[in-house]
Amino acid sequence: MSDANISLEKGDFLMKADVVIRNCIIVTMNMTADIIKQGVIAIKDGLITYVGRSSEAPILEADIYIDGSRKIAMPGLINCHTHAAMSLFRGVAEDKEITSWLRETIWPLESKLRPEDVYYGSLLSCVEMIKSGTTCFSDMYFHEDMVAKAIEETGMRCVLSPGIIDSIGGLFGEVLLTGALKIARKYGGGTNNRIYVMLGPHAVYSCSPKLLRRIGEKASELNIGIHIHLAESEGESASIRETYGRSEVELLSELGLLRPNLLAAHCIHLSDTDIMLMAKHDVKAVYNPVSNMKLSSGIPRIKDLLDAGVTVGLGTDGPASNNILDMFDTMKIAALLQKARYGDPRVLPARKVVEMATRDGARALGLSGLIGSIEVGKRADIILIDINKPHLTPLHDIYAALVYSARGSDVSTVIIDGKIVMDERRILSVDENEVVERAEKTAYDLLSRKDPIRDLVWKA
């Protein structure tokens, strides 16, 4: 700050901004969980440059002013585990047990996937996520370069995890790992500040120990995280124990994969020792309550994980096992399921659930320095929620309103990296109707496709 500026009175200080949001209630999700009534937020070059009360703010000169009256401004929601392109499979395999769901329906359909299918399916999911207030998601799938294309076009933020599955002999796993490394080198170098990369071994039961060890070594070399399904299926967890004489977590520990940037989705069938090991190595967990209930995978012990000190983010899982990507829906069910699991309504209070969907999610993805709260210096990923609704009146408890009453459709405006991506529910970055029509056509075409396995092997 120059001497000239210091000499000005606080109210006279002029600050230039690209976007200013005025008169809103700010749920900051900062360390002290400050809530600011009659607040103002300034954004410049994608960064949050001012957060505070309107009465104490400097004079803000902006290109765009947003009226936040009767609106809550909060950090954009973070979906820590999904498979965006699986929107194409929404509703194709309902009410099935997880192993037959995967082996009889999902995997055969995925064997027919072409890169362009992944692109159109991901675009559809991005639009759905933006419309329900998600600004960042962590994706695991094939053809992640196509997901990246959808992210670039829609303006979202994402952690890509190119999926890796092994085969007998290990050749297929190696081919997929090579492709994943190519994606990691392309997008992981910080050239695009909205796209990050992890390696995505599908699960302990679908990758050999040898391949998992190689993935661990490569992730260390590139200094990137690993995203895996962990202890999701009781049957697969039992078969790992039978084959290797140890749990999935113990096996990962032995292979050197338990580390702070291991993102483990589901974490249902865990022993106390497993939880202790995860906490010791600062492994991050993702709780996917809707998918866990729908596939009857079990109910993870989230309270025990949190009590042990494990960071837990929230995820929807793919649209084929949810069937929507609305994180407000996930927040509500996340809270309710844990209360039922422990027989205690005090478990997972609303404020903690909002933390899990914002700042804890950012920590789980290794992005806590960038996103997860509305604080000066963070990237501007902000959503506005219209509270001028019967189901959000009166507003006695903001966190309870967000978790138990709000819906994705209450989100009016979405800002990602300082850019307005949705204004009064109108998507600005892409043509929503075109995205929906194209995805629908692609989904029907994929289901009726007769051609044999094509394009599943990564374009090395």
Nearest-10 crossing angle of helices 144-154, 115-131: 40
Rounded Cα–Cα distance for residues 321 and 96 (Å): 10
Query: Which residues from 62-91 bind Zn ion, rule CB under 5 A?
Result: none
CB of 78 to Zn ion, least distance (A): 16
Tell me the closest approach of the beta carbon of residue 120 to Zn ion, in angstroms.
20
Q: Among 173-181, 295-303, 311-319, 431-439, which window interacts with Zn ion (CB under 5 A)?
A: 311-319
DSSP-derived pairing of the beta strands 35-44 and 47-53: antiparallel
- Cα dihedral 236/240/243/244 (nearest 10): 180
Helix runs in 60-101, H state only: 98-100
Least distance CB 317 / Zn ion (angstroms): 5
> Minimum CB separation from Zn ion for residue 87, in Å?
14
Per the document, the length of the chain is 460
Closest CB to Zn ion among residues 60, 283 = 283
From the list 190-198, 272-280, 314-322, 370-378, the region that binds Zn ion by CB under 5 A is 314-322
- The minimum distance between CB 288 and Zn ion, in angstroms, equals 7
Q: Which is nearer to Zn ion, 79 or 429 (CB)?
A: 79
Instruction: Give the whole-angstrom CA distance, residue 436 versus residue 216.
Output: 38
Minimum CB distance to Zn ion, residue 265 (Å): 5
Type of residue found at 429: S
- Which of 40, 197 has the CB closer to Zn ion? 197
The secondary structure element, H or E, covering residue 258 is none
Shortest Å, Cβ 318 to Zn ion: 6
139 interacts with Zn ion by CB under 5 A: no
Question: Tokens 């866990």 sit at which residue?
Answer: 292
Cα–Cα distance measured from residue 440 to residue 432, given in angstroms and rounded to the nearest whole number: 12
Q: Which stretch binds Zn ion (CB under 5 A): 13-21, 195-203, 310-318, 450-458?
A: 310-318
CB 324 within 8 A of CB 316: yes
- Give the total of residues touching Zn ion (CB under 5 A): 1
**Exposure pattern of 126-163 as b/e (b: 16+ CB <10 Å)?**
bbbbbbbbbbbbbbbbbbbbbbbbbbeebbbbbbbbbb
Q: Which is nearer to Zn ion, 89 or 399 (CB)?
A: 89
Out of 317, 329, 360, 432, the residue judged to bind Zn ion by CB under 5 A = 317
Q: Identify the three-state secondary structure at position 252.
A: helix
Q: Which of residues 344-373 bind Zn ion (CB under 5 A)?
A: none
Least Å from the CB of residue 287 to Zn ion: 12
The residue type at 29: M
Pairing of strands 157-164, 195-201: parallel
Pick the stretch among 125-133, 256-264, 302-310, 317-325 that binds Zn ion (CB under 5 A): 317-325
Tell me the residue nearest to Zn ion as measured from the CB: 317
Structure tokens at 157: 């933020």
DSSP state of 227: E
Q: Which stretch binds Zn ion (CB under 5 A): 1-9, 24-32, 309-317, 369-377?
A: 309-317
Q: Which stretch binds Zn ion (CB under 5 A): 16-24, 234-242, 312-320, 327-335?
A: 312-320
Residues of this chain that bind Zn ion (CB under 5 A): 317
